[in-house]
Amino acid sequence: MGLVHQRTALMLSFKSLYARTTGQAMSLSRLKGMDLAEAKTLYAHPANCLIAKVQKEHIEKFDQSIELIEKAVLASARELPYYQKLNTLPGVGRILGLTITMEVGEISRFKTPGDFASYCRTVDSQRLSNGKKKGDNNQKCGNKYLAWAFVEAANFAKRFDEDCRRWFDRKAAKTSTVIATKALACKLAKAAWHVMAQATNYDARRMFPELAQQGAK
């Protein structure tokens, strides 16, 4: 993650120099596809050419290092029982599957899906008295990496999974897109608990009971 952050900082600096010098924006796809020869011809001033060349060289080195680490981690993760099952969840791919697998530890630590969703910070932490909200509890409790992973999964799921998209649209129509995304992340976290605790593949009918009711009709 540290290497990714450093690579991102270099990319932003590269794009910023281009924007300041030319008055034009450079797309991320163009930057990633650019070779050193092109980077050295972007500017007329030799100092800018040198900066572009050096930054592009460092970006490529970071690419190689990150790819090396990801291959090693992926090889280890494939041996863990959770990884393959988590990849059946909508919105969860290689990176999110790795993140969740490595951060959960033993799923038996969490007695219920609600406990796990709370640890993933997908459940609002509130202090209630006589049914009324009196404040928020410590929102830093739980795991920030799992919180990020399930929100990212929700963002992908609502785009590419039809069942998640329909549920998200109904929730967003009643509340807001932010609340709906957090709610979908919570459902995914609970589904992940079932997937890991029961060593089973994702079942949309358990996440969305209305689907099972429709199938029974």
The string of DSSP letters for 62-85 reads HHHHHHHHHHHHHHHHTTSHHHHH
Query: Which of 77, 95, 128 represents a domain boundary (last residue)?
Result: 77
17 and 44 assigned to the same domain: yes
The pLDDT, as a whole number, for residue 125 is 56
Query: Which of 36, 60, 77 represents a domain boundary (last residue)?
Result: 77
91 and 195 assigned to the same domain: yes
Burial class (CB in 10 A: 0-12, 13-18, 19+), 116: buried
Can you give the pTM of this predicted structure? Answer: 0.71
123 and 61 assigned to the same domain: no
The pLDDT, as a whole number, for residue 119 is 95
From the DSSP assignment, how many helices (H) and strands (E) are in the chain? 12, 2
Helix (H) or strand (E) holding 49: helix 46-77
103 and 197 assigned to the same domain: yes
Query: Which of 47, 77, 107 represents a domain boundary (last residue)?
Result: 77
90 and 60 assigned to the same domain: no
- pLDDT tens-digit map of 107-166: 999 999 999 999 999 987 554 455 555 545 445 678 999 999 999 999 999 999 999 999
69 and 93 assigned to the same domain: no
64 and 94 assigned to the same domain: no
Total domains present in the chain: 2
SS3 at position 23: coil
Tell which residue, 110, 202, 186, has the closest CA to residue 149: 186
Mean pLDDT calculated for residue range 65-80: 86
Residue type, 9: A
- Residue identified by tokens 């509130």 is 126
34 and 124 assigned to the same domain: no
126 and 195 assigned to the same domain: yes
**Containing structural domain, residue 67:** 2-77
28 and 131 assigned to the same domain: no
